[in-house]
Amino acid sequence: MSSVSNPSFGDLAREASLQPQEKLVRISNAMNSLSIGIPKEITYQENRVPLSPMAVQLLVDQGHSIQLESGCGEKANFTDLDYSSAGGEILVDKESIFKNDIILKVAPPTYDEIGYMKPNQILISALQMVRSKESMIKQLISKNITAIGYELIRDDEGALPIMRCMSEIAGRSSVLIAAEYLSNFNAGKGELFGGIPGVQPTKVVIIGAGAVGEYAAQAAIGLGASVKLFDNNINKLRRIEKNLGSRISSSTIIPKTLAKAISECDVAIGALRSPLGYSPCVVTEEMITQMRDQAIIIDVSIDQGGCFETSNPTDHQNPVFEKHNVLHYCVPNIPSQYSRTASYALSNIFTHLISSISSDGGFETYLKYHEGLRSGVYLYKGKLTNKLIANRFNLPSSEIEFLLAGI
């Protein structure tokens, strides 16, 4: 009977050494470094800036290069020292800002700014389709620019995050503006917006049940006003009524019903939006002649042409005019009046976007796998991808998915 010897400890050790071994491997989480240039806005009364100093510090800590034109944040009360202390590089020469791979700005680019740009750059800015010009689009095309209109970018839920936060500011501030002009300020009626017990509340008509209308209604009800909301989208009306309860009444836009409500209100707020860029004009001049003396119109839709027939664009220095004894406030860019708050709101979204682009493999990779960003692209390497712009200027367009696939 043969005996089997027990293996020694050394034999076991040698056998174990021949087996596949686990090895600790350092997983790199290094992000793609991006170079970002932020020029000073020169568009009339544009006071916002796309990144706050805190956002710059966060992005610099992630390894990104941020160059800012001197004074770019001063209208939002951010100093050059705030940005340089956060790690941003302050440059006096505007043209040098446009040497970065990504140009990030609030307003659409001017002709001079496009002239500074180098071929194949990425531009992230507002598009403002109503104000866009064919010559500007063609100038961007000639430089093979990839251009993104940030108001068209969608999040994972399909919403428009930048449009929503700017609409929230515009909606709430429209009520604050109306309250200011109802007081004795600017020879107003001297009434408190909302009223007090024993005094009839302010009557407010809001036209449009989108984000602007919702937040305007919320603010007006919070101050004690009586609110009537008009829109032709029943689902939007139902949603707002569910959120705000019985304190609001709503109706579809029936001319006779709207005319009666307009004639009885103290404040009318226009908040209709159109995906085509032009808001419908639903309040005629005849309706406005029947309004109460010293009533107030706040036409937030004026950047799309306005939904009151008597509306004409004004500015922050001269925001109002009077017609038919009705005060009209028709400033196109209301959020810019609250530049610091608006800048923080923009910064929150842009910081997340830039970080995501960097961590997900860079711009091209992120664009390929994120439909929300693709929805904001209107030019891809000099190819027009937005059908609305193409149809407006009779220019050829391509599907961005085909361009990304190399078809």
Q: What is the pLDDT of residues 203-217, one digit of tens each?
A: 999 999 999 999 999
Distance between first and last Cα of the chain: 77
Q: What is the C-alpha to C-alpha distance for residues 36 and 363, in angstroms, rounded to an integer? A: 12
Last residue of a domain, one of 284, 315, 332: 332
Residue 19 covered by a domain: no
Residue 112 covered by a domain: yes
Residues 304 and 326 in one domain: yes
Q: What is the C-alpha to C-alpha distance for residues 61 and 79, in angstroms, rounded to an integer? A: 20
Residue 280 covered by a domain: yes
Residue 359 covered by a domain: yes
Residues 348 and 201 in one domain: no
Which CATH number goes with the domain that contains 111?
3.40.50.720
Residues 328 and 351 in one domain: no
User: 326 φ, ψ to 5°?
Assistant: -120, 130
Domain count, the chain: 2
DSSP secondary structure letter of residue 150: G
Residues 242 and 295 in one domain: yes
Highest mean pLDDT among 2-11, 154-163, 166-175: 166-175
pLDDT in tens, 280-307: 999 999 999 999 999 999 999 998 899 9
Residues 230 and 286 in one domain: yes
Residue 266: pLDDT band by 50, 70, 90 thresholds? Answer: very high
Q: What is the C-alpha to C-alpha distance for residues 33 and 333, in angstroms, rounded to an integer? A: 33
DSSP secondary structure letter of residue 327: E
Residue 8 covered by a domain: no
Residues 210 and 301 in one domain: yes
Residue 1 covered by a domain: no
Residue 400 covered by a domain: yes
Res 9: pLDDT: 45
pLDDT in tens, 356-401: 999 998 999 999 999 999 999 999 999 999 998 999 899 999 999 9
> What pTM value is reported for the model?
0.87
> If phi over 0 gives left and psi between -120 and 50 gives alpha, with beta otherwise, what is residue 38?
beta
The one-letter amino acid code at 202 reads: T
Residues 118-143 have a mean pLDDT of: 92
Count CB neighbours of 213 within 10 A: 28
Residue 19: pLDDT band by 50, 70, 90 thresholds? Answer: very low
Which three-class secondary structure state does DSSP give residue 287? helix
Last residue of a domain, one of 271, 300, 332: 332
Residues 134 and 237 in one domain: no
Tokens of 236: 């939007």
Residues 238-255 have a mean pLDDT of: 90
Count CB neighbours of 17 within 10 A: 8
Whether 31 shows a pLDDT value over 70: the answer reads no
The one-letter amino acid code at 40 reads: K
Residues 144 and 234 in one domain: no
Residues 345 and 328 in one domain: no
Tokens of 68: 């800012």
Residue 25 covered by a domain: no
Residues 147 and 39 in one domain: yes
Last residue of a domain, one of 310, 332, 354: 332
Full domain range(s) for residue 324: 167-332
Residues 90 and 135 in one domain: yes
pLDDT in tens, 306-324: 999 999 999 999 999 999 9
Residues 104 and 140 in one domain: yes
With a pLDDT cut of 70, the percent of the chain lying above it is: 92
